[in-house]
Amino acid sequence: MNKLTTSLVALALVALVHVPSAADESKQPEREGASAKEEKAKPAWPDHVAALGLRCAYYKNGRIHVNVLGTPEGEPITKPPEKEWQDFKPSWSKTGDMLIFFRRVKNDPVVTKWKTAICVIKTDGTGFHQLSDGTHTDFNQTWTRDGTNTPVWNRHNDTETGFIVMASKVGNKPGQEVALTDAAYHNWVYTCLKDGRMLVMSVHPSQGWGYFLMTPKVGGGGRYERIDCAGMDKLGFLDRISLSPSEDKVCFEHQLGHKHNPMNRALFVADFDVKTRKMTNIKAFANEHRKPGWFAYPRWTKGAQRIVYHAHEKGGTSLRLYTLSDGTTVKASVDPKADYRYPHGEGMPK
């Protein structure tokens, strides 16, 4: 791996797993930067959002909640045995009855030095079990859509620069997980397709850095097909990419430049053709003018008519709901002092 590629991977890794620090958040404006549509949109009353009946799973103050958007939360469905442990980034299975998330069991100022455990739990709070043992850095888990309901995630490679895509099965024990990519080069899985392929960012040994549809193979060596990102990858990083249930659209974060800066990203939605692997009709829907602010984790809600994401504001981070048909955005969380993050729609694997 040459020096240029190594530097690019290192920057990409920070961008992929970054969680803003207190110093980052102190730089946030009182009203985060927004697109013209957002500035004009009048916040809906919570009951108007609630009437949509959109269930989501999300992080609130370090715990996972399952709730209808626009309504007050009850008790979280996760309660770590240690007070300082936190549960992050739930992904809802296509079968609609399970969540997969990671539990941080050891904190560190350097995110890639966190120790985490990949966990599965039913949406009613029962059936909790770990798929990894908490001695690794395991991040940003999701489910396959090919009917196998396979949990997949990204594991930091402690001996090389980069991450490895891992997989296991519901009901498995830690230690039964397998690698789907070669440890010799970086791979990061974002989302999966019904045909079994996975959308990944990779530093491929022959094709170079970029975004690909990967046909997974235990141990690595699967097929990589490059995605045409309509030039967005040349302008900077695409991150937290999520494929719509019909697999004809994607939503994602985007930062200008390949030097890490998560605090002024814009959120985009685009058409996507899985056969030609091309993105087209790319449109910004949050922080279009890239003002300082933390806009992140766009995810599809049930029915795929709306995208939920989180946005920083004074006193905390709220959930927002964007409607594709009219371009409006409304607030979708009700506690103004809470820290809301990483929303995920019901039955919508990212």
Three-state SS letters, 26-69: HCCCCCCCCCHHHHHCCCCCHHHHHCCCCEEEEEECCEEEEEEC
- Report the relative pairing of strands 55-60 and 63-68 from DSSP bridges: antiparallel
Q: Categorize the per-residue pLDDT at 48 as very low, low, confident or very high, splitting at 50, 70 and 90.
A: confident
Tens digit of each residue's pLDDT (9 = 90 or more) over 263-293:
889 999 999 999 999 999 999 999 999 988 8
CA atoms of 310 and 272, how far apart (whole Å):
23
* pLDDT at residue 5, rounded to an integer: 46
CA atoms of 347 and 56, how far apart (whole Å):
9
The three state secondary structure string of the chain is CCHHHHHHHHHHHHHHHCCCCHHHHHCCCCCCCCCHHHHHCCCCCHHHHHCCCCEEEEEECCEEEEEECCCCCCCCCCCCCCCCCEEEEEEECCCCCEEEEEEEEECCCCHHHCEEEEEEEECCCCCCEECCCCCECEEEEEECCCCCCCEEEEEECCCCCCEEEEECCCCCCCCCCEECCCCCCCEEEEEECCCCCEEEEEEECCCEEEEEEEECCCCCCCEEEECECCCHHHHEEEEEEEECCCCCEEEEEEEEECCCCCCECEEEEEEEECCCCEEEEEEEEECCCCCCECEEEEEECCCCCEEEEEEEECCEEEEEEEECCCCCEEECCCCCCCEEEEEEECCCCC
Q: Is the pLDDT of residue 334 over 80?
A: yes
- Judge whether 29 lies within some domain: yes
Residue, of 31 and 6, whose pLDDT is higher? 6
- Judge whether 16 lies within some domain: yes
- Judge whether 98 lies within some domain: yes
- Judge whether 199 lies within some domain: yes
Q: Is the pLDDT of residue 299 over 70?
A: yes
* pLDDT at residue 312, rounded to an integer: 87
Q: Is the pLDDT of residue 169 over 80?
A: yes
* pLDDT at residue 38, rounded to an integer: 44
- Judge whether 350 lies within some domain: no
- Judge whether 209 lies within some domain: yes
- Its domain, for residue 311, covers 3-345
Residue 82 near residue 105, CB atoms below 8 Å: yes
Q: Categorize the per-residue pLDDT at 315 as very low, low, confident or very high, splitting at 50, 70 and 90.
A: low
Q: Categorize the per-residue pLDDT at 10 as very low, low, confident or very high, splitting at 50, 70 and 90.
A: very low
Greatest C-alpha distance within the chain:
55
CA atoms of 85 and 114, how far apart (whole Å):
11
**For the chain, what is the domain count?**
1
- Judge whether 11 lies within some domain: yes
- Judge whether 91 lies within some domain: yes
Q: Is the pLDDT of residue 100 over 50?
A: yes
The domain that contains 88 carries what CATH number? 2.120.10.30
**Among residues of the chain, what percentage have pLDDT more than 90?**
80
Quick check: pTM over 0.75?
yes
